[in-house]
Chains A and B, each alone.
Chain A
Amino acid sequence: MDGFETTINILVGTIRAGTPLVFAALGELITEKAGVLNLGVEGMMLVGAVSGFIVTVLTGSPYLGILAAIAAGVLMALIFGGLTQFLLTNQVATGLALTIFGVGLSAFIGLNYIGTPIQGLQPIAIPGLSEIPVIGPLLFNHDFLIYLSIALLVLVSWFLYKTRAGLILRAVGESHDAAHAIGYSVVKIRLLAIMFGGGMGGLAGAYLSLVYTPQWAENMTAGRGWIALALVVFATWRPARVLIGAYLFGGITILSLHVQAAGDSVSSALSIIPNPVGEWILAVINSSHLLATLPYLATVVVLALISRDATKIRLNAPASLGRPFHPGA
């Protein structure tokens, strides 16, 4: 196997592993930009995953499944929205509850669908372009959700920074009192943002159950919802950085697998690196546990680096994040 092909494989794997994180994190980004912290991403993803899967089994169409997953995510988000926006419950507690609820609910409704095989969403090779060496397999031979994730990223960026609606959304997130004072309906805007977050969470779940591993299994998100939450901070609430963070996380995951499978050839390649650095890298590679922590470790390190610059965080973090708003108060 030549190194070139391996590199392509790693990059393609990176995009696949990163895409569900892109969806979920973009949704949460919009929610947080409106000043709402929804920790229920994992729960919304799971309910989206199971709903998308069941509808695909019943109708045979993964596209209907994706729509169902989005709808299910929105419904889950509405539970959160109703509780936090109208009943003014604590957002952190409600979000955690939503995740726990989602884990249980998805397990319950998916009980009869565990192990049902389906035909997942297939990649669409763009004619002509996908034949180009290197760039072809890398950019033009994916399932449509991957193209969608890039399109949504552009759309979200444009919406937030180039439209009046995006400006209003950010205003609500910065100071709900000010936004309220000049006549914007804070609750309505936040509810819409929460629903968008839910839909994206559902979509991320559908990516897992319909594309990544076309099956339903309890708890199949395996913590990706929490990674998505971390990515939003990691990206300092900037959409483009969400993409970088997601691919970085996915890339390190995939890379660590490739390093293991290559085994001996990696250790001989590393022998050119002078000790003790070479030895140190080798020690990490030879411990599967350490290797498995690398993506998380990298996230923590970058988070720590970003947080060192307190002004940056303060400039980008929505000032009203997590604070309840009551119009009468």
Chain B
Amino acid sequence: MLKLKSWRSVVAGLGVVAMAMALSYGAVRADGHEKLKVGFVYVSPIGDAGWTFQHDLGRKAIEEKFGDKVATTYVESVAEGPDAERVIRQLAADGNQLIFTTSFGYMNPTIKVAKQFPKVTFAHSSGYKRADNVSTYLARFYEGRYLAGIIAGKMTKSNTLGYVAAFPIPEVVRGINAFARGVRSVNPDAQVRVVWVSSWYDPGKEREAAETLIAQGADVLMQHTDSTAVVQAAQDRGVFAVGYHSDMSKYGPKAHLTASTHVWDQFYIDKVQAVIDGTAKSDDTWGGLGAGMVQMSPLGDMVPEDVRKLVEAARGEIAAGNLHPFAGPVLDNKGETKVPEGQNITDKGLLTMQFYVDGVVGDLPK
């Protein structure tokens, strides 16, 4: 027994040495300088469309831009919670000097690991806790949804628009309201109906929610969930849909008006450059159309020229800062003034939004 045990430890020891050699070999460049190692933690598989897919495009943009000056790694399908902490710590221990954690539930694990690795730079997406070596970043998705609302308001014939939503948190409510404001800016008679599916990802339930909205008369569907089931349902039932995260046109070529997408390439490149230059500091990035972090995918052929012009004009105005999707007066759907005339909503107002604006039907679930 003893013999066996020692034999095992020898093998294990050899394995560790070999691994360490392999790792250090991979990290040393020909000129002797170390590559910058950049790690990514993803909440879902990369797949073909969606939240993680967009972040992975950003990772690829880094590789493209910096070539052999960087080495990126990613870990996908990491559950939020204790598992995330283990993965993040492992990435830091493996010598990654910059780590992007791309889901809200990674917030506390990121802060915790960041304390133990003060020399590593962390960037966490969609959270609100920062530290000396932890930045936060997110995109102003609602700007894209406002533009989608303009298209939907122009394309609808029934004046009923359907919205498949995940959970009633400010992020999602903000998107619904921005969409409704966009719709109302071109079509004061249209109404937005919302169905909550209580899941970010359940293709079956998203599909049923879409069918339900169509049955209730909706002829343009919008989604704040992750699968492509809504676009598919629209295609099958002959109505329009707006995709989310990525261009989803191949799932419903006749239905897909556009998609509100998020693009992280430039943000990731800038962050890597800052770490290489040694100028990285803890900050909060919340970029929208202006910064290119939110973009609309190419508009479908069914969108007429005048609507294209309208959208392009609004895009330019928002990007330039002349138009705010929540410019006062903002009324909730009970008639109460939430933002007075002549003012824009504050970022704090956006981050804590818990009401439906005028144009959305029903009561916001608590």
Interface residues of A (CB under 8 A from B): 1, 5-6, 9, 13, 16-17, 107, 111, 114-117, 208, 212-215, 217-218, 220, 222, 224, 253-254, 257-258, 260-264, 267, 286-289, 291-292
Contacts and interface: CB of A to CB of B under 8 A. Distances in A.
B215 A6 contact: yes
A217 B208 contact: no
Interface stretch (B62-70, B99-107, B196-204, B303-311): B196-204
Contacts of A287: 365-366
B365 A114 contact: no
B129 interface: no
A215 B196 contact: no
Contacts of A260: 194-196, 212, 362
Nearest to B167: A288
Given A254-B208, A254-B212, A292-B197, A213 B203 contact: yes
A222 B193 contact: no
A114 B48 contact: yes
Interface string B224-242: 0001110010000000000
30 contacts: A6-B215, A114-B45, A115-B47, A115-B48, A115-B49, A115-B250, A115-B251, A117-B232, A117-B251, A213-B204, A213-B229, A215-B229, A217-B47, A217-B201, A217-B203, A218-B45, A220-B203, A254-B208, A257-B195, A260-B195, A261-B162, A261-B194, A261-B195, A261-B209, A261-B216, A263-B193, A267-B363, A287-B365, A287-B366, A291-B365
A290 B218 CA distance: 25
Contacts of B229: 213, 215
Contacts of B167: 288
A1 B365 contact: no
Interface residues of B, number: 43
Contacts, number: 123
Given A115-B47, A213-B229, A257-B209, A263 B168 contact: no
Contacts of B366: 286-287
A1 B205 contact: no
The main secondary structure of chain A at its interface with chain B is: helix
A17 B208 contact: yes
Contacts of B202: 222
Nearest to A289: B198
Contacts of A111: 45
A261 B193 contact: yes
Given A117-B250, A213-B232, A287-B365, A257 B212 contact: yes
A208 B204 contact: yes
Contact of B213 (A117, A218, A261, A267): A261
Nearest to A263: B362
B207 A213 contact: yes
Q: Which of B44, B49, B204, B207 has the most CB of A within 10 A?
A: B204
B217 interface: yes
Contacts of B250: 115, 117
Contacts of A253: 205, 208
B361 interface: yes
B211 interface: yes
A217 B227 contact: yes
Which are the 5 A-B pairs with shortest beta-carbon distances? A115-B48, A263-B362, A288-B196, A292-B198, A9-B215
Interface in B163-190: 167-168
Nearest to B230: A213
Contact of A286 (B47, B195, B365): B365
A304 B132 CA distance: 53
A264 B216 contact: no
B208 A13 contact: yes
Nearest to B361: A263
B195 A215 contact: no
B356 to A, nearest CB: 10
B161 to A, nearest CB: 11
Given A1-B216, A114-B47, A213-B227, A17 B362 contact: no
Contact of B212 (A114, A261, A286): A261
Given A261-B218, A264-B362, 19 more contacts: A17-B208, A107-B45, A116-B48, A208-B204, A212-B203, A215-B203, A215-B229, A217-B201, A217-B227, A218-B77, A254-B208, A258-B215, A260-B196, A263-B362, A267-B363, A286-B366, A288-B167, A288-B198, A291-B196
A6 B207 contact: no
B45 to A, nearest CB: 6
A115 B231 CA distance: 12
B232 A215 contact: yes
Contacts of B211: 9, 13
A243 B75 CA distance: 42
B291 to A, nearest CB: 28
Nearest to A260: B195
Contact of B204 (A116, A117, A222): A222
Contacts of B196: 260, 288, 291-292
A261 B208 CA distance: 12
Nearest to B363: A286
Contacts of A264: 361-362
B130 to A, nearest CB: 30
Contacts of A291: 196, 198, 365
Contact of B232 (A9, A214, A218): A214
Contacts of A292: 196-199
A257 B202 CA distance: 14
